[in-house]
Structure 1
Amino acid sequence: MGSPMVLDLMLVALAITLDPLPLMAFVLVVASARGPRIGLAFIAGWTACFVVVLVLVLTLTGGSPPEPRSPPSTAGLAVKLAIGVALVGYGLRRHLLRRSGREPGGHRARKARESEGDGTGGSSSFLSSRLERGAVWPAAVLAVLLQPWGLVAAGAVTVVDADGSHTSTWFVLVAYCLLATASLLAAETYLALRPERARQRLLAMRGWMAGHAEQAIVVGSVAIGLYLVGTSVSGLAD
């Protein structure tokens, strides 16, 4: 796995771990008395998504990267370009909605709000009620629903060029999963070591994040989207 590819993958992982919506939901689900246990279930569901996506990609490619300038390589760059454009459009749309005074929608935003108990029915209310009772499995389901799938797709397209015959590739993939989960792991560790203090600090942090979440999503989506567009166009032009 070449160094530009490693950089792309690590930047995508950083954007995922800094996404405020999953972290805000995570703080709420671990604020209960069974917080650490529920937090582990959330992290398990979150990490399982990355593992499944990586396994699927490596299975499809056979662990061998496509030849440069070959049709599969060009197709991969085109898909990455499309994802970059979509992320930029998503970020700009949220910015325009916010400026117009309307609440940005979207599947993940609704799930994040419903995790606070604001859902109106259906499966979301079912998950919320189970979480309030201290059930563990709904946290894993919620983690899957809150995945930033646009960024996950960008990571998957990047992994197409991974060479499974090199040991270093597997270290990079593990690092990708760990970095993408780093914010959740940090919160879970803090909660396990200092439960009462951690709950207070995490809830206070969540309050601050609630006021800055939209700016973070817009900046993150546009920044990583422009980066993916730039690298894709550069690759297609070579």
Structure 2
Amino acid sequence: MYANPEASSWVEIGDAMGQALLQLIPLALAAALSSVPITATIFILLSERRSRSGLGFLAGTVLGTFATVALATVAGHALPGRPREHGALVGKLEVVIGIALVLLGVVTLARRSRAGRGSGPGWLDSIATFGILPVFGIGLALSLRPKAILLAAAAGLAIVRVDLVFHGNLVLVVFYTAIATCTVGVPIVATILFPRRMEPRLLAAKGWIAAHSSTVGATMMIVIGAFVIGVGVSG
């Protein structure tokens, strides 16, 4: 009997894909639990323009997230060096990104403890009055926050590490984007379909986020940063 090389290649692709998914899931969850886009979503959905503005914000968030991870993946593939040197460089970059995430989480916790319970950025109070194009732009801009960029860079390096073909890379980028934006997309779609049922839930979520989201998000950044450092060190 002869081994089927085509079947063997599919097994290798599946193993590499599974490895990448395991690394992408915690990164995407950390992005999904970011307090700023969730809070912006709630403010928009509690406004009179929730349908149009919500869809505009969702489109900007999805497009911005997809673009940052895709660009990080392209940049990772463009890193110089032979395959072995390339892998070592990816590992070093992952360590640097992991350290940056940990430091960002520590700084956020320190600011939270000094400031006490905050009300969030001032522009969030007026986001409900913005039109569809401004909220679309805000959705795009939120993907350029330091936390979002660091997580997208870590995701791009995780995709580069498994070295798949274009279609495999695209599936992984879409997978990350879907999870990272689900906390924006699901409430928007649910509120458009069931506005009366969702309104009390949105009000309850708004109060909880104001009290706890910064601490939860900062703690998760520290944990995810340590995870990224571990991946980079282990190679």
- If the length of structure 1 is used for normalisation, what is the TM-score? 0.79
1:53 matched to 2:68? The reply is yes
Output the amino acid matched with 2:111: L
Aligned to 2:93: 79
1:20-39 mapped onto 2 (5 Å cutoff)? 20-39=35-54
Q: Which residue of structure 1 lines up, in the alignment, with residue 25 of structure 2?
A: 10
What CA deviation, in whole Å up to 9, does each residue of 1:43-77 have, x standing for no partner?
1111112322344345456699x86532x222221
Q: Which runs of no fewer than 5 residues in structure 2 stay unpaired?
A: 1-12
For structure 1, the residue ranges without an aligned partner over 5 or more in a row are 118-127
Which amino acid in the other structure matches residue 7 of structure 1? Answer: L
Q: Is the 8 A contact 2:44 2:53 kept in 1?
A: yes
- Cα distance between partner residues in 2 of 1:63 and 1:75: 12
C-alpha separation in 2, matches of 1:40 and 1:162: 34
Deviates more, 1:179-188 or 1:54-63: 54-63
> For residues 22 and 190 of structure 2, what CA distance do their matches in structure 1 show?
28
Query: Structure 1 CA distance, aligned partners of 2:64 and 2:74?
Result: 15
- Give yes or no for contact 1:63–1:163 (8 Å, CA) kept in 2: no
Kept in 1: contact 2:99–2:229 (CA 8 A): yes
* Matched length: 216
Change (3 A) 1:227 1:59: closer
CA displacement 1:77-100 (0-9 Å, x = unmatched): 11111111011111112222233x
Aligned match for 1:102, one of 97, 115, 119: 115
1:218 and 2:218 matched: yes
Matched, 1:135 2:120: no
Q: Which residue of 1 aligns with 2:122?
A: 113
Q: Secondary structure at the match of 1:139?
A: helix
What per-residue deviation string (whole Å, max 9, x for no partner) do you get for residues 13-54 of structure 1? Answer: 111111122101111022222202211111111111232234
* Partners of 1:104 and 1:225 in 2: CA distance: 25
Equivalent position of 2:5 in the other structure: none
Q: For 1:234 and 1:223, locate their aligned partners in 2 and report how far apart those are by CA, in whole Å.
A: 17
Instruction: Tell me which residue corresponds to 1:234.
Output: 234
What is the alpha-carbon distance in structure 1 between the residues aligned to residue 149 and residue 77 of structure 2?
Answer: 23
The alignment yields a C-alpha RMSD, in angstroms, of 2.8
Match of residue 178 from structure 2: 178
- Structure number with higher helix proportion: 2
The residue that corresponds to 1:123 in the other structure is none
Q: Contact conserved, 2:68 with 2:149, CA < 8 A, in 1?
A: no
CA contact (8 A) 1:80 1:154 kept: yes
CA distance in 1, matches of 2:198, 2:32: 19
The separation in 2 between residues aligned to 1:48 and 1:42, in whole angstroms, is: 10
2:104 is equivalent to residue 90 of structure 1: yes
Code of the residue aligned with 1:73 in structure 2: it is G
- The match for 2:202 is 202
Residue 44 in 1 paired to residue 59 in 2?
Answer: yes
2:48 partner SS: coil
Share of identical aligned residues, percent? 26
Q: Could you tell me how far 1:174 is from its partner in structure 2?
A: 1.9
Aligned in 2, Cα 1:47/1:162: closer, same or farther, shift over 3 Å? farther
The corresponding residue for 1:122 is: none
* One-letter code aligned to 1:140: F
Q: Secondary structure at the match of 1:32?
A: coil
SS across alignment from 2:22? helix
Note the C-alpha offset of 1:116: 1.2
Q: CA deviation at 1:226?
A: 0.5
